[in-house]
Structure 1
Amino acid sequence: MHTFTESLISETRSDELPEEYDYFGRLVGSWDFDYIDHNMSCSLKGEWYFARVLEGMAIQDVIILPSRDTRTDIPHPDEEYGTTLRIYNPSTHAWDIAYCYTGRIMRLEARKQDGMIVLTNIADERRKWVFATIEDDTFHWQNVTVADDGTWHINVDLYATRA
């Protein structure tokens, strides 16, 4: 397993990934978060880990919800243990993304929009996942559905702090 990990993880950004498009680089590391589901009126604690991979041209993560130390034997409707692979595409200057968890794979594309990083679901452009802010030790992420009139309904707010 050591050889796999060694060949996957990169310590630095690739020179072929321009710094101005390194949207997700500030996320590399370990995060604890509060997940607030507005549709179900509940909140959970979670953990999220990001690393540079594939010779520094991609960012991969593992998201765990609820966190391993708060998980119980009773499954939660928002329970998730998934991974996302974000690969910079030099021909479009966007990020091609695959999000995977048990029984599901979603394809997304990420671009900067109004100072945010907006990940749009390829199969349903009304579904978006947004990094509203990314600071050195905090970030704010949202799960959004776009209404017919273009307004955004925020399904989930996630507030993370560096672990």
Structure 2
Amino acid sequence: MNQFIETLTSKDKCLELPEEYDYFGKLIGSWKLNYTDRNISCSVKGEWHFSWVLEGMAIQDVIVLPSRDTKTEIPHPLTEYGTTLRVYNPNTHAWDIAYCYTGEIIRLEARKQDDMIVLTNIDDNKKKWVFVKIEENTFHWQNITIKEDGEWHINADIYAERIK
């Protein structure tokens, strides 16, 4: 297994990835998070881990809800264990993304929009995931649905704090 991990992960981003498109580099590391689903008024503590992969041209993460240290035998309504692969595309200057968890693969494309990173669902452009703000030790993420009138409906929020 060590050969796989060593081959997959990278210590840094690839030099060929332009700085202005390094949207996700600040996320590298481990985070504790609070996830709130606004549609069902439910919250859960979780964890999210990010690493450079594929010779530094991609970032992969693992999100765990609830976090491994708070998980109980009784399933939480917001249980999820998933991974995202974000690959920089030099042809489009966007990030091609696949989020996978049991029974689902969601394809997205990420671009900057003002100070936010907006990940748009390829199959339904009214569904978006948005990194509202990424700081050195905190970030805010939202799951958004665009209503018919163009207004953003926030389905869920994540507030994260760096632990490593």
Residues 2-151 of structure 1: matches in 2 within 5 Å? 2-151=2-151
3-state DSSP of counterpart to 2:26 = helix
**Whole-Å Cα distance in 1 between the matches of residues 43 and 80 of structure 2?**
14
**1:74, distance to aligned residue in structure 2 (A):** 1.7
**Whole-Å Cα distance in 2 between the matches of residues 52 and 152 of structure 1?**
31
**1:72, distance to aligned residue in structure 2 (A):** 1.4
* 1:72-128 Cα shifts (integer Å, max 9, x gaps): 112222210000000000000000000000010010000001210000000011110
3-state DSSP of counterpart to 1:14 = coil
**Whole-Å Cα distance in 1 between the matches of residues 5 and 71 of structure 2?**
26
The structure 1 segments of at least 4 consecutive aligned residues displaced by more than 6 Å after TM superposition are none
**Whole-Å Cα distance in 1 between the matches of residues 18 and 103 of structure 2?**
34
Root-mean-square deviation (CA, aligned residues, Å) is 0.6
**Whole-Å Cα distance in 2 between the matches of residues 157 and 68 of structure 1?**
20
Q: Could you tell me the TM-score, scaled by structure 2's length? A: 0.98
Give unmatched runs, 5+ long, in structure 1: none
Percent identity reads 70
Q: Could you tell me the TM-score, scaled by structure 1's length? A: 0.98
**Whole-Å Cα distance in 2 between the matches of residues 72 and 124 of structure 1?**
34
**Whole-Å Cα distance in 1 between the matches of residues 119 and 90 of structure 2?**
17
**Whole-Å Cα distance in 1 between the matches of residues 102 and 74 of structure 2?**
17
Give unmatched runs, 5+ long, in structure 2: none
3-state DSSP of counterpart to 1:62 = strand
AA in 1 matched with 2:91: S
**Whole-Å Cα distance in 2 between the matches of residues 5 and 157 of structure 1?**
31
* 1:32-84 Cα shifts (integer Å, max 9, x gaps): 00111111111110000000000000000000001011111122222100000
Matched residues, number: 163
**Whole-Å Cα distance in 2 between the matches of residues 62 and 44 of structure 1?**
16
**Whole-Å Cα distance in 1 between the matches of residues 68 and 143 of structure 2?**
22
3-state DSSP of counterpart to 2:107 = strand
**Whole-Å Cα distance in 2 between the matches of residues 3 and 85 of structure 1?**
19
Segment drifting more, 9-18 vs 73-82: 73-82
